[in-house]
Chains A and B, each alone.
Chain A
Amino acid sequence: MTMTETSGRPPGIVAQGVRRTFGSVEAVRSVDFHAQPGEITALVGPNGAGKTTLLLVLATLLVPDAGSVSVAGYDPMTEAGEVRRRLGWAPDVFGLYDNLTAREYLEFFADAYRIPRPRGQQRAAELLALAHLPEYADSPVHVLSRGQKQRLGVVRAMVHDPEVLILDEPASGLDPRSRVDLKEMLREYAESGRTVVVSSHILSDLEELADRVVFIDKGLSVGEHVMSALPTSATSRRTWRLRSLDEPALVAALTRNGYSHSEPTAAGIDVDLADDAAAAALIAGLVNDKVPLVSCAPIGGALEAAYLELTEGRS
Chain B
Amino acid sequence: MSLAGIGVVARQEFRLRIRTGRWRWLLGAWLLVVTGFTGLLYAGLQHTTRTDDGAVMYGGLMLFVLALAALVAPALAAQSVNGDRERGVLAALQVTALGAGDIATGKLVAAWGTSVVFLALTLPDVLWCVAAGGVQLTRLLVTMGVMVLLLGVICAIALALSALLRRTTTSGLLSYLAVFALSIGTLVVFGLVSAATQETRVVHTPVDPNCSIDPGFSPGGCSGTYTESVVRTDRTWWLLAPNPFLILADSAPQTAKQKRGSSTDPLGSMARWVRDQRRGPTSSFTYGSLSSTRNPGAVWPWGLGFDVLLGAGGLWLTTRRLRTPTRKLARGARIA
Binding site for B on A (CB under 8 A): 22-23, 52, 56-57, 59-63, 76-77, 80-81, 84-85, 87, 89-97, 99-100, 104, 108-109, 111-114, 156
Contact = CB atoms under 8 A, between A and B. Distances in A.
Contacts, number: 83
A114 B327 CA distance: 27
Contacts of A90: 92
30 contacts: A22-B329, A23-B331, A60-B95, A60-B325, A61-B94, A61-B326, A62-B335, A80-B324, A80-B325, A81-B97, A84-B97, A89-B92, A91-B88, A93-B334, A93-B336, A95-B87, A95-B88, A97-B16, A97-B89, A100-B15, A100-B19, A108-B8, A108-B12, A109-B92, A111-B8, A112-B93, A112-B98, A113-B97, A114-B4, A156-B92
Contact of A109 (B91, B94, B96, B334): B96
B10 to A, nearest CB: 11
A94 B336 contact: yes
A307 to B, nearest CB: 26
A100 B87 CA distance: 14
Interface string B156-173: 000000000000000000
Given A91-B336, A96-B89, A114-B4, 7 more contacts: A60-B324, A62-B324, A63-B327, A81-B97, A92-B336, A93-B336, A113-B96
A76 B16 CA distance: 31
Interface in B311-331: 324-327, 329, 331
B20 interface: yes
Contacts of A59: 95
Sorted from nearest, which 6 A-B pairs have the closest CB atoms? A99-B19, A91-B336, A95-B88, A112-B96, A95-B87, A95-B89
Nearest to B12: A108
B89 A85 contact: no
Interface string B89-130: 101111111100000000000000000000000000000000
Contact of B325 (A62, A99, A100): A62
Given A56-B335, A114-B4, A84 B96 contact: yes
B97 A112 contact: yes
Interface in B235-277: none
Contact of A100 (B5, B16, B96, B327): B16
Interface of B: 4-5, 8, 12, 15-16, 19-20, 87-89, 91-98, 324-327, 329, 331, 334-336
Contacts of B334: 93
Contacts of A114: 4-5, 97
Contact of B335 (A61, A99, A108): A61
B197 to A, nearest CB: 46
Nearest to B2: A114
Q: Choose among A52, A96, A108 the residue with the greatest number of B CB atoms under 10 Å from its CB.
A: A108
A100 B13 CA distance: 11
Contacts of A95: 87-89
Contact of B95 (A84, A99, A111): A84
Nearest to A96: B89
A84 to B, nearest CB: 5
A90 B19 CA distance: 25
Contacts of A57: 325
A275 B174 CA distance: 67
B89 A62 contact: no
A63 B324 CA distance: 8
Contacts of A108: 8, 12
B12 to A, nearest CB: 6
A43 B327 CA distance: 23
Nearest to A156: B92
A56 B87 CA distance: 18
Given A23-B331, A93-B334, A100-B16, A61 B91 contact: yes
Contact of A93 (B20, B88, B325): B88
A63 B88 contact: no
B89 to A, nearest CB: 5
Contacts of B88: 91, 93-95
Contacts of A99: 15-16, 19-20
B11 to A, nearest CB: 8
A192 B91 CA distance: 27
B326 A63 contact: yes
A114 B102 CA distance: 12
Given A111-B8, A114-B97, A62 B329 contact: yes
Nearest to A83: B95
Q: Choose among A22, A84, A100, A112 the residue with the greatest number of B CB atoms under 10 Å from its CB.
A: A112
Nearest to B20: A99
A124 to B, nearest CB: 15
Contacts of B20: 99
B98 to A, nearest CB: 5
A289 to B, nearest CB: 57
Contacts of B331: 22-23
Contact of B92 (A60, A85, A91, A111): A91
Nearest to A168: B336
